[in-house]
Structure 1
């Protein structure tokens, strides 16, 4: 029977609940709750490719960006952006996807003025090409760009230090990572990217991947450092794991890559 209840919220993400039995229970709050009231965050989902799309905005200036949109949901996303009164500044990708066609090109036609964004090393067409340490600004917020190759040459992670969050694409998944057996993949490069650019972030930073296949929505730096069954291992062990995954040929790659090289419009 609950006799005493107190709640203390740390960074609007974790609440510690004290029971009469003096046992501490950590409860993760909804991932849409951010630290500043004028920061907007919305996580969207494509059930076919299990892709997460992220809409971020400044509620004061109404400027917004969208990360990893999917072509089939471009009208959904554009409708939401219009309904909420946002001005889409950038339609961004974490890398050149092989499992779906990006919605960036379609969003540009639906929301004139939006610009497409991708890592320069991807070799894909875009209005803006990013390199390591670049900044993407929208309203009063900014995303720091970290080059995190390994899954592909052009993979980047977007970090919002003000909110303590990062968008890792396929480089780091929840208890996993992107495959490295095609499209310029390198297990050694991916391992170094994660350990040098993501695992060096504070442990409490919340990480949002481009995909999840088990219904999980987010993780933290600390969790992945401790529990990731691949990336918590040594480099040598990680390479052996990746060499023995025996994954099937990506079913969408022959259609997705040519389209994504030209911003999803082909």
Structure 2
């Protein structure tokens, strides 16, 4: 498996490139519109064909690069089932599997940050958690159908039951951290380690965070797979 972690410094968003080097089939998870040129250049340099763009959820802090990548590469767009999107090529459900050559991607429903959120387990070892489980933290739960209790259940019952050695790659990090493991997060994630469900709900409901800077434009555009022109029309 070929695996790359890519970073957008403006929104602190991680995009992931996963590919089968034998078949040269590739997938990008959570691409960012402003980084499409970077991503296409890398695909060309590595001799890869982009088969899919996948989203962990409808993002509120950046506009997805899916529409532009579909236009430039002919890839198919994949989004979580129940996401309020009408332009995707495929909706993926909990425990569905997507094959990219010999690489297997399993969807794990992890709602709570938003009402339609997926984590993706790559070949049973690399867990892309999106905005559900972060390194020493977790995603907020105060908009887009988010719910703190639902997020607690998703992380503790779905993600923390994976082997401790499972490598965690989040959708964001604001302190320069790139990778963790399930075992580390079970021990050191202060929002979750040793916390009761009620205490977690109280903590999350009291964060009072400001809205993401791009929320107004990002959600509308991402509900159209990143088609900015349709939002402006």
What range is the shorter-chain TM-score in?
Answer: over 0.9
Give the C-alpha shift of residue 157 in structure 1: 0.5
From 125, 128, 132, give the equivalent of 1:171: 132
Q: Where do residues 199-210 of structure 1 align in structure 2 (5 Å cutoff)?
A: 199-210=160-171
Q: Contact 1:122 / 1:152 at 8 angstroms: preserved in 2? A: no
| Structure possessing the higher relative contact order (Cα contacts under 8 Å, 6 or more residues apart) | 2
User: Match for residue 150 of structure 2?
Assistant: 189
Larger Rg: 1 or 2?
Answer: 1
Q: CA deviation at 1:244?
A: 1.2
Runs of 4 or more consecutive aligned structure 1 residues displaced over 3 Å after TM superposition? none
- Return the offset for 1:170: 0.1
Aligned to 1:260: 222
Structure with greater helix share of residues: 2
User: TM-score, normalised on structure 2?
Assistant: 0.95
2:231 paired residue number: none
How many residue pairs get matched?
Answer: 226
Deviation of 1:42 (Å):
0.6
| Match in the other structure for 1:10 | none
8 Å CA contact retained: 2:120, 2:128: yes
Do structure 1's residue 56 and structure 2's residue 18 form an aligned pair?
Answer: yes
Match of 1:240 among 170, 194, 202: 202
TM-score for both structures, normalised by structure 1: 0.83
Contact 1:75 1:110 in 2 (8 A): no
Tell me the alpha carbon deviations over residues 21-75 of structure 1, each in whole angstroms, 9 at most, x when there is no partner. xxxxxxxxxxxxxxxxxx1011100000000000011110101111000000011
8 Å CA contact retained: 1:75, 1:107? no
- Structure 1, unaligned stretches of length 5 or more? 1-38
CA RMSD of aligned residues (A): 0.8
Q: How does 1:62-141 map to 2 (within 5 A)?
A: 62-112=24-74, 114-124=75-85, 125-141=87-103
Specify every segment of 5 or more residues in structure 2 that has no aligned partner in the other structure, as ranges: 229-233
Q: Aligned partners of 1:115 and 1:78: how far apart in 2?
A: 15
